[in-house]
Amino acid sequence: MRRNPSWTYRKSGVDLDQIRNLHNSVERVFSSTFKERAGKIGEVICGVGHYAGLIKIGNRVLALHTDGVGSKVIIAQEMRKFSTIGIDCIAMNVNDIVCMGAEPLAAVDYIALRQPNNKLVEEISKGLVEGAKQASISIVGGETAILPDIIRGAGKNAFDLSASCIGIADEDKTILDRKMNAGDIIIGLTSSGIHSNGLTLARRVLKQRHTLREKVFDSKDSLGETLLTPTRIYSRSVFQALQNSEAISGLAHITGGAFTKLSRLTRGRNLGFDLEDLPRPHPIFDLIQKEGRIKRSEMYRTFNMGIGFCVICRPSAVSRISDSFDQDGINAYRIGKVVPVRGVFLDGKRI
């Protein structure tokens, strides 16, 4: 019997190395604009390449970020379930904003449709509002575009969704002012599931043998409903922990590129991250790995594997910080440490 191929994110159509090169190219081009605000209100403190851009407004810093939910919209279209995808959109933005040490304040959304569809927009908006409530932000505007020549998908329900978010911090209280050291501990915060990354690979692998309506786990949820579980919003709990502890030295939202995202916290420094005591992943990840015959290292550079956010802190503060998340209903685990060599390591090997 012929065996299924061994899948990678690259084989599914997403090449992380090419994306990284694209980001570097954009960073070089966009950085030429920074001089336009030098010495003025809006001077750039941190530009392209981190979780959000930072600009100076008096003695405060404004954080700006834009993100969407990727091919998770395809799952929503095929399941005809649209009331939670907006939560993902808000989460992808506020979780990145707080990585800079900023408190998320407000967002504007962008919904692109193949054709006018009031019911669809109403359902998407429900999720946006729920996400905003969970994150304690306001949605202050947005845009709805009708693009029949661009938007493709499931008939009249074809759409794309993104948002932009702003946050604020005191000038001397951004994450850039905190120094990370070898020996600092990585605390992992549990995810709610696959979140909003790696869906291109997940869809290609799972649809070889399963349907979205099929129940593949010991639960009432179908495979499609499991994949649509909303991204967990960490921003409120993380910002509170950051305010209460000077021992936190880094924050990472585990999204596209998964745990390789940690490397952006130590750019230009000889520091890396050794992942050691990782909790067992959600069943959805076991299924994807099994059906796609995917290597363990590939899984951890593609999916969150049950850890949606990382908090790096001094060893003496681990228990106190972990307890603060547990009290908010977010399980926190000690999953590794900062090491004096560049890269992210799993089972002793670079991923």
pLDDT digits (tens, 9 = 90+) for 224-257: 999 999 999 999 999 999 999 899 999 999 998 9
Range of 34-43, 90-99, 266-275 with top mean pLDDT: 90-99
Return the half-sphere exposure (C-beta side, CA atoms, 13 A cut-off) of residue 342: 7
Query: Does 16 have pLDDT greater than 80?
Result: no
Contact by Cβ (8 Å): 224, 193? no
pLDDT at 1 over 70: no
Closest CA to 146 of 118, 168, 171: 118
**Total residue count of the chain as it appears in this document:** 351
What confidence score (pLDDT) does residue 135 get? 98
Residues of the chain with pLDDT > 70, as a percent, come to 99
Residue identified by tokens 């946050």 is: 167
Q: What is the pLDDT of residues 139-191, one digit of tens each?
A: 999 999 999 999 987 778 999 999 999 999 998 888 987 899 999 999 999 99
- Cβ atoms 147, 112 nearer than 8 A: yes
Superfamily of domain 179-350: PurM-like C-terminal domain (3.90.650.10)
Question: What six digits make up the tokens of 111?
Answer: 């919904």
pLDDT at 24: 76
Each residue of 8-44: b (16+ CB within 10 Å) or e?
bbebbebebeeeeeeeeeeeeeeeeeeeeeeeeeeeb
Tell me the chain's radius of gyration from C-alpha atoms: 20
pLDDT at 143: 96
Q: What is the average pLDDT across 46-57?
A: 88
What pLDDT does 12 receive?
83
Could you check whether 34-176 and 179-350 share the same CATH topology?
no
* 3-state secondary structure at position 10: coil
DSSP line for 136-167? T-EEEEEEEEE-TTT--SSGGG-EEEEEEEEE
pLDDT computed for residue 4 by the predictor: 60
Q: Which two tokens stand for residue 97?
A: 């904003």
Q: What is the mean pLDDT of residues 252-280?
A: 92
Q: What pLDDT score does 304 carry?
A: 97
pLDDT band at 327 (very low <50, low <70, confident <90, very high): very high
Segment 189-215 shows an average pLDDT of 94
- pLDDT for 3: 56
Q: What is the DSSP string of 290-317?
A: HHHT--HHHHHTTS-TTEEEEEEE-GGG
H-assigned helices in the chain: 16-30, 72-79, 85-97, 118-135, 199-206, 223-227, 235-244, 283-292, 296-300, 318-327
- Domains of the chain by residue range: 34-176, 179-350
Please give the Cα distance from 118 to 95 (Å, whole number).
Answer: 29
Number of neighbouring beta carbons within 10 Å of residue 217: 14
* CA–CA dist 273, 247 (Å, integer): 17
CATH numeric code, 34-176: 3.30.1330.10
pLDDT at 331 over 80: yes
Q: Is the pLDDT of residue 111 over 90?
A: yes
48 pLDDT above the threshold of 50: yes
